[in-house]
Structure formats: C-alpha cells, structure tokens
Amino acid sequence: MKKIIFILLSFILAFDLVAQEDGNLGIMFGGTSYFGEINQYIPFINPSYMGGIVYRQQFKYRYGLRIGINFVSLKGNSLQAMDRYERTLNQNFMNIFGEIHIGGDFNFRRFDLNKPKHYFYTPYIFGGVSFINVPDPYNAFDFAFPVGFGIKYAMSKKLMLGVELAYYWTYTDYLDKILADDYSSLQHSYNTNPDSYMVIGVFLTYQVFRNKPPCPVYTYF
C-alpha cells in the first residue's frame, strides 16, 4: 500500500510539471451504501461513511484528472432488507478498507477557478479505476470501476467545493465477508455476482499549483 501511495504522489508531481492549468488538493467525505447478498436493490438502507484526500488537475477547462486515496466503511444487516428471503439469512457485517483511484472528469460547462465570477460552476461526469484493499482468502487487492456525476463550484480563486454520486462495480464478492463457498454449504445467498457499493460525497479543494494558462484556441473547448 505504501508503495502504491508513493507512486501516485510521484504521478501527481509529474502531471503538474506538464499540466496547462490548475492543480487542486483537498479532502473528501461522505456516505456509502453496500449492494450484495444481503441488500441487492435498496440504496442507503444501512448507510456508512468514507473519507480521504483528493487531487484534481484540470486541462483545457473541460477535462480533468482525478486521483484519490480513501478509507471506506460498508455495513449491512439482512434484518433490514426489503426482500423476504434476504431477511431470513440472519447476516450482518461491517467492513473497512482502503481505496486508491485514478480517473477523469468531463465538464459540461467551461470551468475556471481563475475567473470565478464568470465560470464558477459546472455539472460533470467521471469514470476511472480503483484498487481496493479488501483482504479475503483469495486476494489481498481487487479492482473496482467507479462511474458517476456531480457538480463543482468555485468559491474563490483558490477554493473549490463539489458534491458527487459514484457507483463502484467491484471484482470481489467479499465486501460483506460472506465466502463464495458458503453459498452452497450454508445457503447464504442465491446471488453469486460480485458486490458493489455507492458513495455520495462532498469535497473541498485548495489550489496548490497554478501553471500557465492554456492556449487561447482552447478557450471554448
């Protein structure tokens, strides 16, 4: 995990050396919702929390790089499930793990921290890939693929505030700590698909790097 964090920090510095616009570092926190064997459909029926640091680098007003290092807590309780079968499973869990992600943003409007009076907000969509540290009997790390949307707002020439909703497709079926072997022997589940989770979060960043403005030909792209 320490090596991965070191590589990501080096990656941030390397991007800033060649970037045309602003680099912003900050914090993110929010709520989480688990989907799996004991809750397949209902979001935030048993919410938990997440938090971490985020780095966002913007290019040409419309595109951006995002890198995050988070801790994520998920929990579930089959007694609170809406499905009658899930309530009979008599299962509950709490799982806390680390998550590192890298991805990209696309802004629907021009967004410019250096001109917050004119280009102060934009809705956006994003996607990427995550490494999640969910140790199970099979793997120490697994992949997840977050996608989502949000809105960000320039509070000043230095501060940016945003809120976003993300859905994480994962490659692990152990977020709820129910082993795949348990499906047949203990009849814990009829669903053997990988688990997933949702995050609704708020971030606040501060402009730590300000490089030369982009070429004017990119002003409206």
Residue 218 lies inside a defined structural domain of this protein: no
Predicted confidence band of residue 81 (pLDDT cuts 50, 70, 90): confident
What is the C-alpha separation between 199 and 46, in angstroms, rounded? 13
Tell me the backbone φ, ψ of residue 77, rounded to 5 degrees: -150, 115
Residue 188 lies inside a defined structural domain of this protein: yes
**Is the pLDDT at 19 greater than 60, yes or no?**
no
Highest mean pLDDT pick, 103-107, 135-139, 188-192:
103-107
Are the C-beta atoms of 198 and 167 separated by less than 8 Å? yes
Residue 12 lies inside a defined structural domain of this protein: no
Token pair of 193 as six digits: 């698909």
Q: How many domains does the chain have?
A: 1
Predicted confidence band of residue 80 (pLDDT cuts 50, 70, 90): confident
Provide the percentage of residues in the chain whose pLDDT is more than 70.
78
Provide the domain limits for residue 45. 24-210
Which CATH number covers residue 158? 2.40.160.20
pTM metric for this prediction: 0.81
Q: What residues have CB less than 8 Å from 117, skipping those under 6 apart?
A: none
> Any idea which of 59-63, 86-90, 163-167, 204-208 has the lowest mean pLDDT?
86-90
Q: What residues have CB less than 8 Å from 165, skipping those under 6 apart?
A: 148, 149, 150, 198, 199, 200
**Is the pLDDT at 183 greater than 80, yes or no?**
no
Average pLDDT in the 28-57 region? 93
Pick from 137, 125, 4: nearest CA to 64: 125
Output 117 or 27, whichever has higher pLDDT. 27
Output 221 or 133, whichever has higher pLDDT. 133
**Is the pLDDT at 159 greater than 90, yes or no?**
yes
Average pLDDT in the 95-118 region? 89
Identity of residue 182: D
What is the C-alpha separation between 3 and 221, in angstroms, rounded? 36
**Is the pLDDT at 190 greater than 60, yes or no?**
no
Which residues are registered as beta bridge partners of 36? Answer: 39
Residue 148 lies inside a defined structural domain of this protein: yes
Residue 220 lies inside a defined structural domain of this protein: no
Residue 166 lies inside a defined structural domain of this protein: yes
Helix, strand or coil, per DSSP, at residue 193: coil
Residue 8 lies inside a defined structural domain of this protein: no
Question: Cα angle vertex 14, ends 9, 17, to 5°?
Answer: 130
Residue 9 lies inside a defined structural domain of this protein: no
Q: Where are the alpha helices (DSSP H) in the chain?
A: 2-18, 84-87, 182-185
Provide the percentage of residues in the chain whose pLDDT is more than 90.
47
> Taking the mean position of all CA atoms in its chain, how far away is CA 138?
24
What is the C-alpha separation between 99 and 42, in angstroms, rounded? 23
